[in-house]
Structures are given as structure tokens and as C-alpha cells.
């Protein structure tokens, strides 16, 4: 981790030299955030003998106390290991933690279209018999540095910012992949994207606020603010995502008296692989949207690295660099003001994510964390940080590319399955999807025995879909789901609401099925539709 | 875990037969809680092919969808592994997790007063050379049951209630140790006590509410509700804790107009080892307080198992049973109505705790978790649950007893150190501590060279303390801290506020120092006091 540590310092100085600092957005804080004080006890952690934070050779503390008659503050230097009454690691039951993890290049960048063997889901893909590596985290590491991972520290009470090694990696990642356009951004760990968004609401939303969302959005994100009487304001989408014209119209024409609430100052957006339509927003659109509004843009990009563009097949750091270059830019890339709050997640189930934002927001979010989640689980941070250290930045990028190639392969399965099962026609959207979407409509493969003027050769259109631009990211939430998630679940409150036109939407997924199961699922779907439309 | 599963069922049926069900306390919910809906996507988890929740042999789902013309709901049974678009475990990087943990009986129940060897902190205590045990958690376990721990499930998205195995253990623990006085209590996991209390505030506190607290209380707990303009209302304490007389006086005399807020309906209390005075509330007092007020009692007991009474030295289940019997009862023991919300934590740094409460509160708290923390880290739950399974209930109780004996030994060190360093006098409290407290006042050990009528033989009283009734629980937060936490940090808002009388309080800890360090710390303290009072 030493190289990351140096890197972070270097990045910080380079960035400061040429980029603007964040503007002041504290006016966006809600009253509760303004009311928050620093935690008094947590201030004492500055004095704690945490290895590396204070020289481990001599744990000295600057001590001040006020005598009982208010006469004076007394300062004393004390060498003492007694600090904060926290438990001694010797009583932690865990002596070591170990893990076996897949190698960063376990998944090939160019998998075959059809699996060679189909006995198991994915292990046939592995380039070697057991592409794993192992590590052990002990309770104590001799001569620990500021970024050493050891259980005596990981499983101990700590500041809400978590162990220093993890944000070091995250800052390198953010700097290299997102390239924020201002100098003094920072990161703060949390226990996953849902937690991150919940804390952002707690940071800036007042009761009753309007929140701008895409017309199709993630239901859980809306459920997070609905109880606070905050109202989603749905902005129309086209094939690329949120419509700048409609956004300008909504903001420009906002009548506070008529609406009964102030003009929206918060946007929640999923620009990549827009859940659930699969749209991905590119550079120009993002810049345009950034420039339009003064609002705090809360960017949730669970599918970010898995956008299914032309797959890069080149190994090594050149291939990694090309991959990064081809990624759609984050809003951070255009964020010269420090107005964007970005949510990122590390892996499902680990409950470990982070927020990137301007320093005032990060400070207030840290105060929120101190009285709620505190630091993420020491188990999660120790194991995840060690895994990231093993892989390194380049290894982590290669891992993401391998996952992306795997999901690309699976997207191909489902599209091939549709092609084999149905008769397909293109671009017959009939207004069912955002304008400009490239649609595919499925018809029964068997031609009608008797030609019917009304029904045509293949009967009625059964289902129309947009080929996904992303696969389900293994690090993220559900994508479209075979027969499981009626489209109205994802309704941002526009015309798709149940009872109105357009609620016959389904959501298909291909993240989890084997090749055979994928085909079977599509065939089942076909049988269901035939039965429903009484075709057979 | 099978025996726990059976036990839980048995307990549930026995309990239902003889105990009352919880009353309805939904009137205590704040408006935000009432506004919360169930998560639409999470409802789909019912259909997910989670091993054991649905037979793994055939993953069948009952599927309903609404056709696009609103004509009908169609039900279909589908055998399909494609569910919810969640990532397939084959792409989780972690293949196995392993841990080496201390044996449940690593720490003796009757340690010597003075360490035999003093090279290391505690390892000399171990009865054998390496009292550890190891386990490995694989990605897949063949023929998994409802409570199997495997990474494919633990590291997967799941309901906010977490993996079923853990609440099974927790219910056994709550039933056997706390013995709630009503039938239909339940538990809900969270990411630690701070998170638990934060969610309880989110559940029942309206902006501006008054919250009853002990006059000395944990500052972090107050900081959690202050930003919501909730006000702590300090209730006086005596040696046993909160005063029933003062509580009745405050509630009975509450003038809503004068106070500008409604009568308090929430109490935050730390009945055992009351942080920071060390008081412990016993049966009669708890029952009396329970009976007085209609308020929701939020019980935070980080020191519960470590109250330093006469140590039980007997091994085995008889010794465990005696230990449990001697514990001060939880408020749950008197809770015939379901009016108590109890916070418990598993271990520091693991960020894993739970709440015990009535079923309506548990349901609403689950809704809160679904839009914030979701389930705790899969790493934490997998490792902690496996550790608890290894130890079993009896082993876990033995572990707690060993930790308690260890801290008892350390309390003895610090008391012995004080006795060696100072001249001690008893019960000269001078009103510095709650009435009825058994105090010890320290004087300089060296008699004055010349007897002084004013100063007496040993000079002025330097410091007065109450011998702790608890040690710092290794699973909990800071106890009194050598020279680190000025007493006003813990002020619940009463007369101890800084600037008023009584702010010369310190907080001493003995959780983390070696035998030598403990003596050195007390000697240093003595030198500081001499210097301060200009005695030498």
C-alpha cells in the first residue's frame, strides 16, 4: 500500500496546482446537518495509540484538563498505553482471518460465445485449474505502518472514516478512473449504496423537498426519501437518459406556490445502464445536464464499469488504460464546482461502499456516520482492503474487465436465445420505450397456418425490448428480471404508474442463469406469452 | 445450529402458552415511521431461490403479473434459477473464508491476583499453549439447510434481517438470559449499538421531543438526537441509578406549554455499569421505574454481562446457569406490555448488534434498515455466526465469564495500585457523587513533615472515586479513562455542565493496560495531582 500512499500525496499536490477548489455548498445542508456537532469522544481518538497514527515506540499524549475550580487548563505529556477505555485486542476472539480469493485475471477477456462445457456455470471459463490466491491477516503485525492491516486495529473501535488503508486505495481509484475536475474532493466509506444514499438524504433533504429523478428509476432510492414527505419529480428520458430540455422546462417553470414546495435542489440519477431501461449517458449529455442546473447531483452508478461497449481484449496496463478511457465519464469529470456527490459500491454482500464529494459534505457526512453506522465492519474492511492490496489498482481494473466480459457473454446468450425462440423485428417501439431507443419486437416464430390480414404472418407483437447496454454488474443490484419485476416497480412517478397506460412492462435478467437455464427461461417466457395471448 | 432452530420453535410455543402478547404501541411511532412502506423489490425475495428457503431441488416460483390492459393477474409456476438479477456467486472473488478463534474457555474463571509472568498482557493466562480453534467457510456447502453458512449466501444480497442462522442464536440468547415477560418479542440485527439507537430515534422521536436520560449518560447517545432538536431531560441518580422519585416528579409536573414540548415518551437508559459512574440497577429499582412510566424504555446495556459481582468460579453448565441467575435482570424481564426496546452488541469492530422489541417496532425498524444499512456485512455475519455455532450457547456464556474474570482481575490491579500509591479514606463523598455511593478518597501517602491544622496529616483530598461495579466490557465502549475524558463529556445536562460546580471529574479506565502500565499510570496520576495541588 506504500505506493498508493505516495500516489495519493502526489495526486493531491498535482491536483491542487491546477484545479479549482470546491465552492461552498453549505447552503444546501438541511437544518439537522447544520445542527450536528463533532463527537466529543471521537476527538479523543486523535490521542489514541493507534499504530502509525502516533509513533508506536512511545505513545505520548497531550493531555489537557480543567481543574475543578475553573482556574486553568493544565497540559501534561503522558506516556501511557491506557487510552479511551477500549478493549484490548488480546480479548478479541479472532486471532487470524484468512481468505482464498480468485486471481484478478480469473475471467478471460474474450470468452467463447457458447460454453465449451456446460456442467457448471462459470468455472469452465477459468484459464487454469484453480486461479486463486490466499492470504492471512493476523492479530498483530510486527512494526506496523500507517496502513498495515491487522486484526488488533481492524476489529477495534475506530473513527467513522475506517482504516486509513482503504480510503488510500479509493482515492487512487477515483483519481485515475473518474478524474474529478476540482482539487479538494475526498471520499468517505459507508456500508453500501443504500446507506450512502440514506446519508445523503439525511445531509441535504428537508422534509417536503422535491427530488429530481429520471422517469424510470430505482424504487429503493425513492422509498428512502418518500417517508420524509419528499416527492420525486420525474424528468423524461430519451435513449441516452435524462432529457435536458425537460429538465430545463421543469426547473424554469417551477412555481413554488402552486407546487407547495421550494424549487428542487437535489437530483438522484443513475446515468449508466439506467436501471431499468439500460440507457447509458455519454459525455455531451452529462456536461449539458451539469451545466443546466445548480442542483446537487447525486450520482449512483452501480453499473459503471460494466457498460457493454466493444469489449477490450488486450491484457496488461495498456488494455486497462484503454478500458478506462472508453468508460463513460462520471459527473465528477465535469464537476468544476464540487457540486456532485457520487455513490460507489465495492461488492454485493460485503456492505462496503463509499461516497466522493466536496470536503464540507464529507465532513458533515462523517458526523452523520459517527452517530449511526460508525465505521464499516472491521471484517469487511480488513478482508476487502487486503484483497485490493493483493490485486493492486491494475489488478482491480483487470478483475472488473473480466467480470464485464463474462456478463457480455451472458447478454449474448439471452439475445441468442431470443433470436432462436422468437421471430424478431427491429425498431417497432410504438412509443413503449424512450424515444430514440433501439427496440426489438418479438413475434411467434411459427408462421400462422392461415394468413390473417389483421394478425399478419407472425401474429401479434408479444413483447418489445431494448437490448441492454449493460449487463448486471456483479457488484450491484438487480437488473431486469425474468417475470419477476413488473415494470411499474421502477416507475419514477410518471405516466407508467399502475392503472395508466404502459404498465405491462417486465424486467429481464441474465446475471445468474446457466446457458441452458437461459434458453429454458426464454422458452418458458415464450410459452407464457403464447398462453396469455391465447395463441396456442 | 439445528438445535437452536428447534429450541426457538419450542420457546416460541411455550411462551405463547403462558405469556401475554405485546400491546399496541404504534401511537409512539413518529410520522416518518408511519409513512414507510414495505420495499417492493424486497417483497420479491420471498420468491428467491435461496437455499433452504425454497427447496433447492426445484426452485419454483409463484409468479403473478398484470397484463398490459389491466385484464387479469396471471399466476404461473416457473422453475427457473434466474431470480432478481442478483449476481451469481461464481463471480464473488471470495472462495473461502477461514478464521482462528480463541476457545470459549481460553480465559480462566479464577485468575491469580498478580500476574505470574508479565511479558505480555494476557497470554500468560491461557490454560494451554494455544487455546484456539479454526474453521473454514466455503462458497458452497453441499445440501444446505435453512441455517447453513456459506459464502454464496452470506456475500449475496439478502433481506435486511440478515442470514437466518444468526437471529436463531440471538433468540435463544435473549430467551435464556433476559427472559422477556411477554410472548411475541423478536430481534433484528444491526451494525452496532450506535446504529441501533440511531434507528430507534428514527422510529419514535419527533423533532423537538424531550428524551429522558440519566443525569450522567453516554455523550454519543445524546449527540445522536440533539441535531433533531430533541432535548435531553436529565433524571437524578443515586447509587443504584435513576431515581424513581425524581422521574415521577418530572413526568407528573410536566407543563407542555411552559416546556414548549410534549411530555416525554422516550427514555434512554444504561442501567448496568452506568456509564460513567459505574452504578448498577437491581431488580426492585427496575420494576419500580418500569411501573412508573408509560414511556418507551430504550435499554442500552453494553456492560451487562460484566458486572463485577462475586465471581462464579464453577465450570460447566451449572456454573453458567448460576452466572445467568446472578445477572441483574434486563427491563425485558419486567416487560409485560412490550414497551421496552433493548440494544445489544456482539463485539467491538465487528459492527454487529441487535435490537429486541415488540413485533410492530421490529417490523418498522426492518423497513428503516431496508432503506439505510440493509443487512450487516456478510463477512461479519458469516464469521460471527460460525464462531457462535462453534461455541454454542453454553460456550458463549463461558466466554463472557472468562472475559469478566479477566476484567475483574484488572479492576483489582487498579484498586491495588491506588492502595499502594495513595492513602485512602472511605465514604467522604462530599456530595461529589450520587447519594449513597460508596466512595474512596485519595490522599498523599507521605504524611506531612509538619502537621498542619488545615491540611491534616495527609494533606488535601486529591481525588475521590467510586470503585467500579463493572469492568470495561471487551464488547463495549469506553469506560472511565485515565486522564482522557473529562467528566463533563458525560454530562446529561444537569448541574455538572462545564462552568458549573462539579466539572473536575475524570474518567479512569483499566481495560487495556498491562499490570506494570496500570501501576505506572496511577503513579503518574499521583504525580500530576501533587504538581497540580503544588504539594511537591
Encode pLDDT of B154-204 as tens digits.
998 777 888 889 999 999 999 999 999 999 999 999 999 999 999 999 999
The Cα–Cα gap between A105 and A90 comes to: 38
pLDDT at A212 over 60: yes
User: What angle in degrees, to the nearest 10, is found between the helix axes of B244-252 and B283-292?
Assistant: 10
Return the DSSP state at A55. -
The answer to whether the CB of B166 falls within 8 A of the CB of B154 is no
The Cα–Cα gap between A437 and A431 comes to: 9
Selected residues 367-386 of chain B with any CB under 8 Å from a CB in chain A: 370-380, 383
Pairing between β-strand B463-465 and β-strand B440-444 as defined by DSSP bridges: antiparallel
What integer pLDDT is reported at residue A284 of this predicted model? 93
pLDDT band at residue A312 using 50, 70 and 90 as cut-offs: low
What integer pLDDT is reported at residue A278 of this predicted model? 63
What integer pLDDT is reported at residue B524 of this predicted model? 75
Determine which of A186-190, A349-353, A486-490 has the lowest per-residue pLDDT on average: A486-490
Is B390 within 8 Å of chain A by CB?
no
B308: β partners: none
pLDDT band at residue A68 using 50, 70 and 90 as cut-offs: very low
On chain B, the residues whose CB falls within 8 A of the CB of A376 are: 191, 351, 377
What integer pLDDT is reported at residue A114 of this predicted model? 77
What integer pLDDT is reported at residue B448 of this predicted model? 60
The Cα–Cα gap between B150 and A149 comes to: 25
pLDDT at A61 over 60: no
Determine which of A291-300, A524-533, B137-146, B197-206 has the lowest per-residue pLDDT on average: A524-533
Residue A228 makes CB contacts below 8 A (sequence gap 6+) with: A201, A205, A207, A208, A209, B32, B35
Residue of A484, A502, A504, A521 best to disrupt the B interface, most CBs of B under 10 A: A484
pLDDT at A58 over 50: no
> Which of B85, B91, B155 minimises the CB distance to A403?
B91
**CA dihedral over A367, A370, A373, A379, signed as positive or negative:** positive
Q: What percent of chain A has pLDDT over 70?
A: 67
Residue B239 makes CB contacts below 8 A (sequence gap 6+) with: B279, B434, B435, B436, B437, B438
Give me the phi and psi of B500, to 5 degrees please. Answer: -100, 180
On chain B, the residues whose CB falls within 8 A of the CB of A66 are: 486, 498, 503-504
Q: What is the pLDDT of residues A464-503, one digit of tens each?
A: 776 665 433 222 222 322 322 334 444 454 444 333 343 3
What integer pLDDT is reported at residue B362 of this predicted model? 97
What integer pLDDT is reported at residue B496 of this predicted model? 41
Give me the phi and psi of A79, to 5 degrees please. Answer: -100, 110
CA dihedral A446, A450, A451, A456 (to 10 degrees): -40
Distances in Å between the alpha carbon of B247 and those of A435, B290, B329? 65, 11, 20
What integer pLDDT is reported at residue A535 of this predicted model? 61
Q: Around Cβ A327, how many Cβ atoms within 10 Å?
A: 16
Determine which of A183-187, A354-358, B511-515 has the lowest per-residue pLDDT on average: B511-515
Is A229 within 8 Å of chain B by CB?
yes
- With CB atoms and an 8 Å threshold, state whether B40 touches A223: yes
- With CB atoms and an 8 Å threshold, state whether A194 touches B85: no
What integer pLDDT is reported at residue B412 of this predicted model? 81
- With CB atoms and an 8 Å threshold, state whether A484 touches B84: yes
> Which of A69, A511, A521 minimises the CB distance to B80?
A521
**CA dihedral over B480, B484, B490, B493, signed as positive or negative:** positive
Distance from CA of A313 to the nearest CA of B (A): 19
The Cα–Cα gap between B96 and B102 comes to: 20
The answer to whether the CB of A328 falls within 8 A of the CB of A280 is yes
What integer pLDDT is reported at residue A81 of this predicted model? 31
Determine which of A12-16, A456-460, A494-498, B526-530 has the lowest per-residue pLDDT on average: A494-498
Distance of CA A28 to the CA centre of its chain: 23
Written as tens digits, the pLDDT of chain B (536 aa) is: 334 444 445 555 555 579 999 999 999 999 999 999 865 544 444 444 332 222 222 223 333 333 333 333 333 333 333 334 567 788 899 999 999 999 999 988 888 887 766 555 555 566 555 589 999 999 999 999 878 999 998 998 777 888 889 999 999 999 999 999 999 999 999 999 999 999 999 999 999 999 999 988 888 899 999 999 999 999 998 888 899 999 999 999 999 999 999 999 999 999 876 655 566 788 999 999 999 978 999 999 876 766 655 556 889 999 999 999 888 899 999 999 999 999 998 876 678 999 999 999 999 999 999 999 999 999 999 999 999 999 999 999 999 898 888 878 877 887 888 888 888 888 765 555 666 667 777 788 776 665 566 656 677 777 777 666 543 322 222 232 232 233 444 445 444 433 334 334 455 555 556 777 777 777 777 777 777 666 65
Q: Write out the H or E segment, with its range, that includes residue A75.
A: strand A73-79
On chain A, the residues whose CB falls within 8 A of the CB of B380 are: 377, 379-380
Residue B424 makes CB contacts below 8 A (sequence gap 6+) with: B418, B440, B441, B442, B443
- With CB atoms and an 8 Å threshold, state whether A229 touches B91: no
pLDDT at A194 over 90: yes
Pairing between β-strand A296-300 and β-strand A266-269 as defined by DSSP bridges: parallel
Percent composition of chain B: helix, strand, coil (DSSP 3-state, to 5)? 35, 20, 45
The Cα–Cα gap between A190 and A186 comes to: 13
Percent composition of chain A: helix, strand, coil (DSSP 3-state, to 5)? 35, 20, 45
The Cα–Cα gap between A341 and A279 comes to: 21
CA-nearest of A98, A100, A108, A99 to A128 is: A108
Residue A497, exposed/middle/buried by CB under 10 A (0-12, 13-18, 19+)? Answer: middle
Return the DSSP state at B115. -
The answer to whether the CB of B140 falls within 8 A of the CB of B152 is yes
What integer pLDDT is reported at residue B189 of this predicted model? 96
What integer pLDDT is reported at residue B420 of this predicted model? 87
CA dihedral A313, A314, A315, A321 (to 10 degrees): -110
Selected residues 157-176 of chain B with any CB under 8 Å from a CB in chain A: 157-158
Is A132 within 8 Å of chain B by CB?
yes
Higher pLDDT, A130 or A380: A380
Higher pLDDT, A47 or B443: B443
Give me the phi and psi of A18, to 5 degrees please. Answer: -120, -15
What integer pLDDT is reported at residue B433 of this predicted model? 62
Q: What's the half-sphere exposure (Cβ side, CA atoms, 13 Å) at B66?
A: 15
Residue A94 makes CB contacts below 8 A (sequence gap 6+) with: A139, A151, A155, B99, B100, B101, B383, B387
Using the CB atoms, write b or e for B497-529: b if 16+ within 10 Å: eeeeebbbbbbbbbbbbbbebbbbbbebbbebb
The Cα–Cα gap between A285 and A266 comes to: 18
Q: Write out the H or E segment, with its range, that includes residue A25.
A: none
> Which of B66, B91, B514 minimises the CB distance to A486?
B66
On chain B, the residues whose CB falls within 8 A of the CB of A490 are: none
pLDDT at A451 over 90: no
Q: Write out the H or E segment, with its range, that includes residue B525.
A: helix B515-532
CA-nearest of A348, A347, A332 to A385 is: A347
Search chain B and give the residue with CA nearest A68.
B504
Is A41 within 8 Å of chain B by CB?
yes
Is B483 within 8 Å of chain A by CB?
yes
Residue A425, exposed/middle/buried by CB under 10 A (0-12, 13-18, 19+)? Answer: middle
- With CB atoms and an 8 Å threshold, state whether B371 touches A194: yes
Average pLDDT, rounded, for chain A: 76
Amino acid at each position: 500500500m506504500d505506493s498508493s500512499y505516495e500516489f495519493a500525496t502526489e495526486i493531491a499536490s498535482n491536483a491542487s496546482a491546477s484545479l479549482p477548489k470546491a465552492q461552498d455548498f453549505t447552503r444546501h445542508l438541511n437544518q439537522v446537518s447544520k445542527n450536528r456537532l463533532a463527537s466529543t469522544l471521537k476527538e479523543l481518538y486523535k490521542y489514541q495509540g493507534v499504530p502509525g497514527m502516533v509513533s508506536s515506540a512511545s505513545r505520548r499524549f497531550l493531555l489537557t484538563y480543567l481543574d475543578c475550580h475553573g482556574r486553568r487548563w493544565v497540559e501534561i505529556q503522558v506516556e501511557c498505553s491506557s487510552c479511551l477505555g477500549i478493549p484490548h485486542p488480546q480479548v478479541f476472539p479472532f486471532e487470524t482471518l484468512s481468505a482464498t480469493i480468485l486471481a484478478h485475471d480469473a475471467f478471460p477477456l474474450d470468452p467463447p460465445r457458447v460454453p465449451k462445457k456446460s456442467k457448471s456455470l462459470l468455472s469452465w471459463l477459468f484459464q487454469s485449474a484453480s486461479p486463486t490466491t490466499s492470504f492471512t491477516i493476523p492479530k498483530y503485525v510486527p512494526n506496523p505502518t500507517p496502513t498495515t492491516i491487522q486484526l488488533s486495529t481492524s476489529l477495534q473501535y475506530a473513527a467513522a472514516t475506517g482504516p486509513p488503508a482503504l480510503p488510500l486505495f479509493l482515492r487512487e481509484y477515483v483519481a485515475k478512473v473518474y478524474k474529478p475536475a476540482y482539487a479538494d474532493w475526498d471520499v468517505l466509506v459507508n456500508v453500501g449504496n443504500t446507506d450512502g444514499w440514506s446519508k445523503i438524504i439525511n445531509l441535504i433533504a428537508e422534509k417536503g423537498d422535491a427530488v429530481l429523478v429520471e422517469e424510470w428509476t430505482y424504487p429503493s432510492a425513492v422509498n428512502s426519501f418518500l417517508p420524509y414527505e419528499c416527492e420525486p419529480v420525474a424528468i423524461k428520458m430519451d435513449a441516452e437518459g435524462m432529457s435536458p430540455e425537460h429538465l430545463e422546462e421543469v426547473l424554469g417553470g417551477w412555481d413554488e406556490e402552486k407546487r407547495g414546495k421550494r424549487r428542487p435542489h437535489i437530483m438522484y440519477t443513475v446515468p449508466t445502464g439506467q436501471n431499468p431501461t439500460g440507457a447509458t449517458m455519454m459525455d455531451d449529455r452529462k456536461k449539458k445536464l451539469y451545466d443546466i442546473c445548480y442542483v446537487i447531483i447525486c450520482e449512483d452508478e452501480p453499473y459503471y464499469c460494466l457498460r457493454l461497449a466493444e469489449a477490450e481484449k488486450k491484457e496488461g496496463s495498456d488494455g486497462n488504460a484503454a478500458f478506462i478511457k472508453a468508460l463513460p465519464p462520471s459527473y465528477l469529470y465535469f464537476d468544476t464546482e464540487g457540486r456532485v456527490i457520487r455513490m460507489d459500491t465495492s461488492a454485493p454482500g460485503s456492505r462496503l461502499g463509499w461516497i466522493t464529494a466536496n470536503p464540507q459534505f464529507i465532513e458533515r457526512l462523517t458526523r452523520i456516520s459517527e452517530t449511526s453506522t460508525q465505521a464499516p465492519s472491521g471484517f469487511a474492511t480488513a478482508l476487502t482492503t487486503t484483497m485490493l492490496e493483493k490485486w493492486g489498482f491494475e489488478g482491480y481494473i483487470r478483475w472488473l474487465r473480466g467480470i464485464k466480459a463474462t456478463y457480455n457473454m451472458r447478454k449474448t446468450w439471452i439475445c441468442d436465445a431470443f433470436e432462436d425462440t422468437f421471430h424478431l423485428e427491429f425498431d417497432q417501439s410504438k412509443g413503449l420505450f424512450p424515444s430514440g431507443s433501439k427496440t426489438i419486437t418479438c413475434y411467434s416464430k411459427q408462421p400462422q397456418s392461415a394468413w390473417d390480414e389483421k394478425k399478419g404472418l407472425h401474429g401479434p407483437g408479444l413483447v418489445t425490448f431494448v437490448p441492454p447496454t449493460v449487463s448486471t454488474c456483479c457488484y450491484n443490484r438487480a437488473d431486469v428480471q425474468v417475470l419477476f419485476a413488473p415494470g411499474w416497480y421502477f416507475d419514477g412517478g410518471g405516466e407508467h404508474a399502475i392503472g395508466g397506460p404502459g404498465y405491462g412492462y417486465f424486467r429481464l435478467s441474465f446475471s445468474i442463469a446457466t446457458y441452458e437455464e437461459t434458453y429454458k427461461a426464454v422458452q418458458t417466457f415464450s410459452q407464457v406469452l403464447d398462453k396469455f395471448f391465447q395463441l396456442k
